[in-house]
Chain A
Amino acid sequence: MNQHFMLDGRSIPFEEGQTILQAAEHAGVFIPHLCYHPEFKPHGSCKLCTVKVNGRHTASCTMRAVAGMSVESDTEEINAERRALTQMLFVEGNHFCPSCEKSGNCQLQATAYHLGMMSPHFDHFFPNRPVDASHPDVLLDFNRCILCSLCVRASRDVDGKNVFALSGRGIGTHLIVNAKSGRLADTDFALSDKAAQVCPVGVILKKRQGFAVPIGERRYDKAPLGEPVDTTEGR
């Protein structure tokens, strides 16, 4: 750890091969992110962790730290861009926090609070995305999917099951279930799977425990986002 780079004027040590985000988290500096999870290979798709390296935009979860580089993260300009990305995620899906079991434990919501998102700003898509309640233990509510692919990666890389995939392209990209019927009940998905634990939003929900912890007493009700986040949160 004798190499350093500069992050918002602060010297951050790193080990060879660490990304900017990993080194920052290790040093206790928070960079907003949604598709990054410390246990998985970075996906680099949500772009929330975008920083400026030597004046150029890049995803800090995929960019390796290099000695002497100058990184900007917590600036008005970059946070405004992150806020716009978050607003787009909100209007592309159906994110009605008051009726969502994940409210208060949701990383998307906490990120929006962190970035001071007072309104969705853009016009809503109000997409039609039916839920999948077929599985005995888990509900899938696709309305809230932000395409982070954490469930895809967890199922494929940890569970060895390949239950989820992202299908389609561009704005048509959507989460699918790998069964002929498209139903979760027709896969070998189980509540004990890693994929059941990693959803940062309210798509993959354990049945029969929705409001066991009341709204107002949940993780981000107690403390704001701002420390390295374990998305396996205890609900």
Chain B
Amino acid sequence: MTTTKKLKVATTSLAGCFGCHMSFLDIDERLFTLLEHIEFDRSPLTDIKTVSPDCDIGIIEGGLCNAENVHVLRDFRKNCKILIAIGACAINGGLPAQRNHLSLPTILEEVYHTSPGLSNGLIPNDPELPLPLNQVHPIHEVVEVDYFIPGCPPSGDAIWKVLTDLLAGRKPELGHGLMHYD
């Protein structure tokens, strides 16, 4: 890892659980080594809200379950030279996609109207709320994705391997033990 200028890395969680971000933090003290080579741009770790137009690496956790997710994803793709899908949800929709065989009205009806314990439930329709998509989609179905780190979540070691491979100019590869879909 002999980069002179620090690479800008942006991260976000779309329809995810932030588990992949937690796993990212599991690289532990290697985070200090990483910070010698990168700086964080938009990320839950910095609380910066917009992606810089000259980002080097964008890391996307989670799939697409609503219109805002799509907007954020396209913004990342536009501004990041390399886009990485991290975790099962970004790669195949994951847990949120388990709703895909049900119609959206059926789900909203059950969640807000007919589930036990609800009284006078209303389906939220504030214009501030992003509209849900009919189905949850993995991100490669909407934008081009350069690299994938599978796992639910991928281990800190797997994330470290991919990032260090990229920083060293190698094609990222996960061997046995780091390659997991579960």
Contacts of A123 in B (CB 8 A): 141
A8 to B143, CA, bound (A): 38
Shortest Cβ distance from residue A96 to the other chain B in the assembled complex, whole angstroms = 7
- In the assembled complex, which residues on chain B have CB atoms less than 8 Å from the CB atom of A118? 147-148, 150, 174
* Contact residues, A111-131 vs B (CB, 8 A): 112-113, 116, 118-121, 123-124, 126-129
Known: A96-B92, A119-B85. A215 touches B182 (CB 8 A): yes
Please classify the interface of chain A as helix (H, G, I), strand (E, B), loop, or mixed, using the class held by over half of its residues. loop
Given the complex of chains A and B, what is the CA–CA distance between A156 and B174 in angstroms? Answer: 41
User: Which B residues lie within 8 Å of A113 (CB)?
Assistant: 176, 179, 181
Give A91-126 as 1s and 0s: 1 = Cβ < 8 Å from B's Cβ atoms: 000111111100110000100110010111101101
Interface stretch, picked from B8-16, B28-36, B97-105, is: B97-105
Q: A113-B176, A118-B148 are in contact. Are A98 and B182 (CB under 8 A)?
A: yes
Mark contacts of A115-155 with chain B using CB atoms, 8 A cut-off: 1 yes-contact digit, 0 otherwise.
Answer: 01011110110111100000000000000000000000000
Q: A98-B181, A113-B176, A215-B182 are in contact. Are A120 and B138 (CB under 8 A)?
A: yes
Mask: chain B, 144-175; 1 = CB below 8 Å from A; 0 = not:
01011010100000000000000000000110
Q: How far is the CA of A119 from the CA of B176 in the complex (A)?
A: 16
Q: How far is the CB of A16 from chain B (nearest CB, A)?
A: 37
Cβ of A104: which chain B residues have Cβ within 8 Å of it? 182
CA distance A109 to B179 in the complex (A): 10
Nearest opposing residue in chain A for B172, CB measure: A118
The residue that A96 contacts in the complex, of B97, B140, B141, B150, with Cβ under 8 A, is B97
Instruction: Report A-chain residues with C-beta under 8 Å of the C-beta of B174.
Output: 118
User: Is A124's CB under 8 angstroms from B138's CB?
Assistant: yes
Query: Quick one: which of B9-50 are within 8 Å of A by CB?
Result: none
Question: When each residue 84-100 of chain B gets 1 if its CB lies under 8 Å from chain A and 0 otherwise, what string results?
Answer: 01001001111101101
Cβ contact within 8 Å between B152 and A97? yes
Q: Which interface residue of B95, B138, B179, B181 has the most chain A CB atoms within 10 A?
A: B181
Q: In the complex, what residues of B have CB within 8 A of residue A215's CB?
A: 182
The reply on A14 being an interface residue by CB < 8 A is no
Assuming the contacts A90-B92, A113-B176, A113-B179, asked whether A98 and B100 have C-beta atoms less than 8 A apart, the reply is no
User: Is A224 close to B, CB under 8 A?
Assistant: yes
Neighbouring A residues of B141 by C-beta, 8 Å? 123-124
Flag whether B77 is at the interface (Cβ < 8 A): no
**How many angstroms from the CA of A103 to the CA of B179 in the assembled complex?**
13
B95 touches A99 (CB 8 A): yes
**Distance between A141 CB and nearest chain B CB, rounded to angstroms:** 12
| Proximity bits, B102-135, A CB within 8 Å = 1, else 0 | 0000000000000000000000000000000001
Closest to B91 in A: A119
CB-contact partner of B182 in A94, A103, A119, A223, under 8 A? A103
Contact of B88 with A128 in the complex, beta carbons under 8 Å: no
* Bound-state Cα–Cα, A223 to B177, Å: 9
Task: Select one of B94, B138, B179 contacting A98, CB under 8 A.
Answer: B94
Q: B140, A98: Cβ atoms under 8 Å? A: no
Query: Quick one: CB contact mask for A61-104 with B, threshold 8 Å, 1 for yes?
Result: 00000000000000000000000000000100011111110011
Which chain A residues have a beta carbon within 8 Å of chain B's beta carbons? 90, 94-100, 103-104, 109, 112-113, 116, 118-121, 123-124, 126-129, 215, 221, 223-224
Q: Which 6 A-B pairs have the closest CB atoms?
A: A98-B152, A97-B181, A128-B101, A126-B100, A103-B182, A118-B148
24 residue pairs bridging A and B, Cβ less than 8 Å apart: A94-B101, A96-B93, A97-B181, A98-B94, A98-B181, A99-B95, A100-B182, A103-B181, A103-B182, A113-B179, A113-B181, A116-B173, A118-B147, A119-B85, A119-B91, A120-B91, A121-B140, A124-B93, A124-B141, A126-B93, A126-B97, A126-B101, A129-B101, A215-B182
Assuming A119-B85, A124-B93, what are 5 further A-B pairs, CB within 8 angstroms?
Answer: A96-B92, A97-B152, A118-B148, A124-B92, A129-B101
